[in-house]
Amino acid sequence: MMNQLGGSFTGVAAVLAIVWLAGLPAAAQTPAAVSTPRRTADGKPDLNGIWQALNTAAWDIQDHSGQLGVPPGQGVVEGNEIPYQPWAAAKKQQNFANRMTADPTEANCYLPGVPRATYMPFPFEIVQARSYMAISYEFAHALRTIALDGSPHPDGLPGTWMGDSRGRWEGNTLVVDVRNFNDETWFDRAGNFHSDELHVVERYTLTDSDHILYEATIEDPKVFTGPWKISMPLYRRVEKNAKLLEYECVYYLQEERFKNAPFKK
């Protein structure tokens, strides 16, 4: 009796499963087609367009919980650990405690540096040519120009907010070597920082026409005990007539401070 019932239930379940699968749309039964990355006239992956990171790394590049004004998020640091030297770990904690007024970018509107400019919650535009590339960021009108000939960094360059970028192609990946930074930028609002010995190697790999795998290896012998790496996808903005808009950070900051300033008679 039980065997007959069990066999009947098994048969009914199998029939229902077949009927259910037959009713699914074709798109649910077959894998989605993967778009082929576009290429430029010289055969290189076409990175032209407006891109944006969709994560919370600008607030904290490591795993973090939600706080007032800070969305929770998963980190972009591989292994979720940053190899600070002991003194630097203490400095990072001090930065975190003072982050609301000490963050050079969020609190003072200075240029975000590299790699932070990539994952600020604003889009950026890549303009690619055969021998150079320009990256324009909506935040603070930041701009980078990248020679694509593999040329070395010139000697004697002063440190700057965005550093000096030199690019080359390794197969289908654009590799950008960035040096000559000042020590005024942070990696995020959580106080992760560096010195003027910062060295960043970025890798841009077009995985399909609308997605870039962005990776950055970070070294700084003054601050860290060894190199560490971040990675994240970047998404193409595909809205009709997508473009960078104006974000005047300094104006908004001054307006806010003026609004909150006490007036003396």
In order of their start, the domains of the chain are 49-62+73-239 (2.40.128.20)
The distance of Cα 44 from the centroid of its chain, to the nearest Å, equals: 22
For 165, the 3-state DSSP assignment is strand
Fill in the amino acid letter for 131. S
**pLDDT at res. 37:** 85
Instruction: Single out the residue of 176, 138, 137, 183 nearest to residue 161, CA to CA.
Output: 183
Distance CA 209, CA 238 (A): 11
The Cα 15–Cα 11 span in angstroms is 6
The whole-model pTM stands at 0.84
Per-residue pLDDT of the chain (265 residues; tens, 9 = 90+): 445 444 544 554 554 444 454 555 554 555 555 568 889 999 999 999 999 999 999 999 999 999 998 999 999 999 999 999 999 999 999 999 999 999 999 999 999 999 999 999 999 999 999 999 999 999 999 999 999 998 999 999 899 999 999 999 999 999 999 999 999 999 999 999 999 999 999 999 999 999 999 999 999 999 999 999 999 999 999 999 999 998 988 867 777 765 665 544 4
- The pLDDT of residue 34: 57
115 prior amide bond cis, ω within 30: yes
Query: What pLDDT does 252 receive?
Result: 75
pLDDT score recorded for residue 261: 59
Residues paired with residue 229 on neighbouring β-strands, in sequence order:
217
What would you measure as the largest C-alpha separation in the chain, in angstroms?
A: 96
Q: What is the pLDDT of residue 71?
A: 96
